[in-house]
Structure 1
Amino acid sequence: MKSILHRALQFAVLLFYFNEVTPLNVLGIFHHPGKSHFFVFEPFLKELANRGHNVTVVSHFPLKAPLKNYRDISLAGKVKVIEDVFPIERSYLTLMKISSFLVKTGNTNCELMLEDEQVQSLWKTNTKFDVVVTELFNSDCPLGIAYGLKAPVVGLTSDALLPWHYKMFGVPFNPSYVPFILTDGGSRPTLFQRVEATVVDLYFNFIYKYFSQRPTRAMLLPHFGDVPDLEELGKDIKIGLVYHNFVMTGSRLFPANIKEVGGYHVAKPKPLPDALRKFIEESEHGVIYISFGSMLQSKSLSKEKLDAILGALSELPQRVVWKYEGSTLPGNPENIFISDWLPQNDILAHPKVLAFYSHCGMLGTTEGMYHGVPMVAMPIFGDQPSNAAAIEESGLGLRIQLKELTKETLLNTLRKVLRPEFRANVKSISRAWHDQPLSPMDSAIFWTEYAARHTNITYRTRAADVPTYQYLNLDILSILVGIPLVVVFVLCKIWCSSSKKAGRGQINRKSKMQ
């Protein structure tokens, strides 16, 4: 008996020893002032601190309450927080405006961060960091800082990979089956959608390379000397933590240093405010929740589209909770609860919420999947088109395009997702999403610690370094096609030459006979 207890004690001590994590000095750089983006990353950063790591965070969103092991370097007030800035409109012109907005704000935010004295003290005092965690979005400025600090990088996204991230990580982008973040094709695009994705991909990569990465490197040079091209620093990122999951987004051809960790921001639901709780719980037929996120304004809907939505909702028995920025809706419908801010995760967790009418931002989409709420997906821009395609392909909901929005189309779509069998299927998909060996948060923390522990490992795939002509097999194609063509050409020339000689010989013989 004593022997068994002794062995058990030894096992417990060994288990404790191997699970003990040496505290890391972690630097988080999040210089993009997007509230919805940082809302994803904040729980991850706080969890790093809760697990004993020393976390220093550069961001526009300092903690409201102090947290042990967590230090803010606040950029708050330097620029306006990005929220409620885009109208509900969809066109190629909007896409071009977004590309301009991305590179301009990325450059501005980089410059403001590099000018901050607290940020400069990080490298002027030779502060040692074991790992830098940063958002992969519209600026590679943090990669230059990490290079100056000689620290490995873990990149995080709050959505799918952007066009310039594919080459960075060596991820295959084939528009015939790879969903493109900015267009509607999903994994089964039409010919037009494949052409569209190819052109938009080339455009965004060009804009980013010459109007973001080049100016950003120029900003970094005075602080760090000879900084390598940012494309090369991007290839040295140890781990990319992308915010999606194959259950919703489908199976992708990711290299080993891309990890899917979608869902770590979803918190345990809190009690709803009394008025909202009463409105939901007193609904006899359940509730439909409507939100178009923090960057789109419902009140900017055209009168035609607003009337279509209200008309469809008026024919359904369900009550509606709507994130709406205006003070009133036309007609002041009694079955609709409106507010310019709503606790979305807590609402979606309520069992009486039967459907989610959404713009398909990744946060809301993930929360809808987490809680098993069927979705009506109406994408506008950014990652929303690809998210909407994934929602429909996975069976989580149905798509409706803004240009197709009428009372009839919305009413028919809502009625389909409100069917009990549709909801049951969504619940089963949600259960599959939850069935993971590690929670998304545990996975994100593990790979961050792994990157800090094993800095000398080669993480990137060779595909990130292969020249484009080799990656596309153009050299092989030129040999397999070119050599036969040369042989055929030579044979044709010989045949033609022989035919001409034979023809001239016959003519000469005829002339002699005459």
Structure 2
Amino acid sequence: MVSTSARLLCFFIAAAIHFDGAQSAKILCFFPTASRSHVLGTQALMKNLASRGHEVTMVSAFPLSKPVKNYHDIYVPIEDAFGEVMASFMQGGSRNMIKFMPTILRASLDYNNFTLNSPQFRRLVEEKQHFDVAVVGWFMNDFVLGIGSLFNCPTILYFSAGPGGLNNLVGNPTEVASVPHLFLGNKNPMKFLDRVKNTLITTVDSVLVEYFKYRMKVYYDHNFPAEKQFPSYNEARLNVSLVMLNSYFTQTIPRPYVPNMVEVGGLQIKAKPDPLPSDLQEWLDGAEHGAIFLSFGSNLKSSNLRQDKFDAIIGSISKLKQRIIWKWDTDVMPGKPANVFIGKWLPQDAILAHPNLKLFVTHGGLGSITESMYHGVPVVGIPMFADQDTNVAQVVRDGWGVAVPFDELTEPLLTSAIREVLENAQYAERIERFATLYKDRPQTAMDLATFWVEYVVRHKGAPHLHYQGADLNFLQRNLIDVFAFLGVMVCLVFKTSAFLLRHLKRKICDGRRGNAADKQKTS
């Protein structure tokens, strides 16, 4: 028989585990993204918070495949928002992001607005649900920040990349002279011409941010009108308690952060990977020559590949002795080689963790590069759009991968790149060094993110974290008003001094002339 005291001890230990930090809280996660990979980190965080006894409500287009205790999914179907754009990339269409920016902005505004006004989400409002904090997935959707006021709770932002356009929300310094823009890549240190480029890119980006704000204010005023006592759009943008970034300085570069902007890169990665499905486990276990994972991520569909590019990939991998795992989005792959295993949605993190996995052929998305780095798997990168070019370029500079431009992709080029990485030991050696750096932290990304969410709940939004620099306008933040004032003061002092000197000189000269005249009269 277990004694009463022993049962009580077990109860208190369990309570300490589940309620370490914040007491059980009601957490809303609003993540209206059409990209499944972007939501994975937050999903992992919400599942962890649910396991600690918090009640989580997750609004997204990607519900969990298996229900989790204390975790409630609200599904809003927006996952095909970028389907046409992504299909054009796989056909070799233009990947100029400046050209596509208006399309991406319009789609982002539309599907965020659709989610915000969906019956599924409005039901939470109509039922007057109470939440202790709202975690919002950010991507060109500042106007949804009225959610904090809607539920009268603090707001936390999560972005699936580095700070970028989030700096001005919390007053984080941009540091143009030393921190390269996302589109410039992780050049550290920057040379003179790099700093010139960085200045120009950052200036253009700042203009775009102002344009985005202009567009978003219309959506904000419609959804959170002032006549219903909602704060202004600018006030809502500054009412952010915490920003979490899917980045880590050993993967990018060191840069300054204010206290309420924290790096939690790698949230989706498990130190102990989930078990693989039995067929996939057998496929990898039986790969006596090793295995290669091939994936273009969650947005790009391999079945949309232009025929010549598909033929080049098939021709290359079919001649390899390694077993291939290819993320393929339909049930059948035409001409599938015997050494290829296909799956619509594959557990990427667990696949990369398998000891027989020797190479990752990837589009170079940040999540894929991060998981590959963590598990020590070198890559062959075929970047397609956005930050993928700079992500793969950084891998090449760091020496743990090779790039194959999509437009230049041929069977001989891809085969050469794969063999180069597989047969040259330096790639595996280099990635092990970066994997060690990435894992060497005082606490895991999950523990850090969990602490900060509970911290914001405990301290009712933690207003003491707010950096006063966020409240300054452009002139104040860059001391232009101060320098203008000092310039005026220096000018006034100079003018006054010059006037006094001229007046004094005139007095002295007049005195001398008077003395001279007196002497002449006397003589």
Aligned AA (2:356): K
Which shifted more, 446-455 or 166-175? Answer: 166-175
Q: Distance in 1 between matches of 2:55 and 2:407?
A: 49
Q: Provide the C-alpha distance between the structure 2 equivalents of 1:81 and 1:145, rounded to a whole number of angstroms.
A: 22
Q: 1:115 to 1:277 in 2, by over 3 A?
A: closer
Give the AA of the match of 2:360.
F
Cα distance, 1:54 vs. partner?
A: 1.8
Task: Say if 1:316 and 1:243 are closer, same or farther in 2 by CA, change over 3 A.
Answer: same
- Flag structure 2 segments of 5+ consecutive residues without an equivalent: 1-8, 499-523
Q: What is the identity percentage for the equivalent residue pairs of Structure 1 and Structure 2? A: 31
Among 290, 293, 298, the alignment partner of 2:294 is 290
| Cα distance in 2, alignment partners of residues 177 and 377 from structure 1 | 27
The one-letter code matched in structure 2 to 1:71 is: H
**Aligned residue runs from structure 1 range 164-243, under 5 A:** 165-175=166-176, 177-184=178-185, 186-187=187-188, 191=194, 193-194=197-198, 197-198=201-202, 200-202=204-206, 204-211=208-215, 213-222=216-225, 225-243=228-246
Q: How big is the shift at 1:167?
A: 1.4
Distance 1:101 1:359 in 2: 21
Output one character per residue of 1:383-425: Cα deviation in whole Å (capped at 9) or x when no partner: 3234334434555434444345455654554444332232123
- Deviation, 1:48, is 1.1
Output the CA distance in 1 between the equivalents of 2:186 and 2:486: 32
How far does residue 450 in structure 1 lie from its aligned partner after superposition? Answer: 0.4
After superposition, the Cα gap between the structure-2 partners of 1:44 and 1:261, relative to the gap in structure 1 and judged at 3 Å, is same
Q: Distance in 1 between matches of 2:481 and 2:143?
A: 35
C-alpha distance 410-474 of structure 1, shift in aligned 2 (>3 A): farther
Q: Which residue of 2 aligns with 1:510?
A: none
Matched, 1:149 2:155: no
Q: CA deviation at 1:355?
A: 1.6
Q: Look up the match of 1:131.
A: 133
* Counterpart residue number, 1:440: 445
2:464 equivalent to 1:458: yes
| Residues 1:58 and 2:63 are matched in the alignment | no
Check the 8 A contact 1:95/1:381 in 2, yes or no. yes
**Aligned with 2:162: secondary structure?**
coil
Q: Would you say 1:430 and 2:474 are equivalent positions?
A: no
Q: Does 1:104 align with 2:110?
A: no
1:363 to 357, 363, 367: 367
Equivalent residues of 2:30, 2:134 under 8 A apart: yes
The Cα of 1:251 is off from its aligned counterpart by: 1.1
1:254 partner SS? coil
Q: 1:299 to 1:120 in 2, by over 3 A?
A: closer
Residue 378 (1) aligns with residue 378 (2): no
Residues 89 and 95 in structure 2, CA contact (< 8 A), matched pair in contact too: no
Tell me the residue number matched to 2:4.
Answer: none
- SS state of the match for residue 231, structure 2? coil
Query: Offset at 1:51?
Result: 0.4
Match of 2:514 in 1: none
Asked whether the 8 Å contact 1:154–1:240 carries over to 2, the reply is: yes
Contact 2:95 2:385 in 1 (8 A): no
Q: Distance in 1 between matches of 2:61 and 2:227?
A: 23
State how far apart, in whole Å, the 2-side matches of 1:483 and 1:223 are: 41
TM-fit CA distance, 1:445? 0.8
Q: Is the 8 A contact 1:169 1:461 kept in 2?
A: yes
1:429 alignment partner AA: F
Alignment partner of 1:158 out of 160, 164, 169: 160
1:496 corresponds to: none
| Cα distance between partner residues in 1 of 2:255 and 2:307 | 40
| Contact residue 175 and residue 197 of structure 1 kept, 8 A | no
- What is the CA distance between 1:175 and its match in structure 2? 4.8
Unmatched 5+ residue regions in structure 1? 1-8, 492-514
Return the alpha-carbon distance in structure 2 between the equivalents of residues 481 and 406 of structure 1. 62
Change in 2 beyond 3 A, CA 1:288/1:149: same
Contact 1:106/1:138, CA 8 A, preserved across alignment? yes
More moved, 64-73 vs 302-311 = 302-311
Distance 1:99 1:161 in 2: 18
After the TM superposition, which residues 239-258 of structure 1 pair with which residues of structure 2 at under 5 Å, given as runs? Answer: 239-258=242-261
TM-score for the superposition, normalised by structure 2: 0.77
For 2:368 and 2:138, locate their aligned partners in 1 and report how far apart those are by CA, in whole Å.
Answer: 20
Cα distance, 1:303 vs structure 2: 4.8
> Higher mean Cα deviation, 292-301 or 224-233?
224-233
Pick closer, same or farther for the CA change 1:183–1:101 going to 2, 3 Å.
farther
1:333, distance to aligned residue in structure 2 (A): 4.3
Q: Which residue of 2 aligns with 1:467?
A: 473
Q: Is the 8 A contact 1:135 1:156 kept in 2?
A: yes
Counting only pairs closer than 5 Å after superposition, residues 1-16 of structure 1 correspond to structure 2 as 16=16
In structure 1, C-alpha distance between the alignment counterparts of 2:338 and 2:72, rounded to whole Å:
47
Q: How has the CA–CA distance of structure 1 residues 73 and 322 changed in structure 2, closer, same or farther, with 3 Å as cutoff?
A: closer
Deviation at 1:304, TM superposition (A): 5.1
Structure-1 separation of matches of 2:484 and 2:94: 36
RMSD, aligned CA: 3.8
Given that 2:360 and 2:378 are in contact with CA atoms closer than 8 Å, whether structure 1 keeps it comes out as yes
CA distance, structure 2, for counterparts of residue 93 and residue 282 of structure 1: 39
Matched, 1:46 2:42: no
| Amino acid across the alignment from 2:267 | Y
Corresponding residue of 2:519 = none
CA distance in 1, matches of 2:319, 2:362: 19
The residue identity in structure 2 corresponding to 1:391 is: V
SS in 1 for 2:258: coil
* Counterparts in 2 of 1:481 and 1:300: CA distance versus 1, 3 Å: farther
- Paired with 1:443 and 1:460, the residues of 2 have a C-alpha distance of 19
How many Å apart are 1:364 and its aligned residue? 1.4
Q: For 1:93-144, what per-residue CA distance to the aligned partner results, in whole angstroms no more than 9, with x for missing partners?
A: 6414542333323332343334344533544454332211111113134310
Deviations 1:175-215 (A, max 9, x none): 5543433454644665485366336514531442122x212
**Bigger Cα displacement from structure 2, 259-268 vs 221-230:** 221-230
- Number of residues paired by the alignment? 475
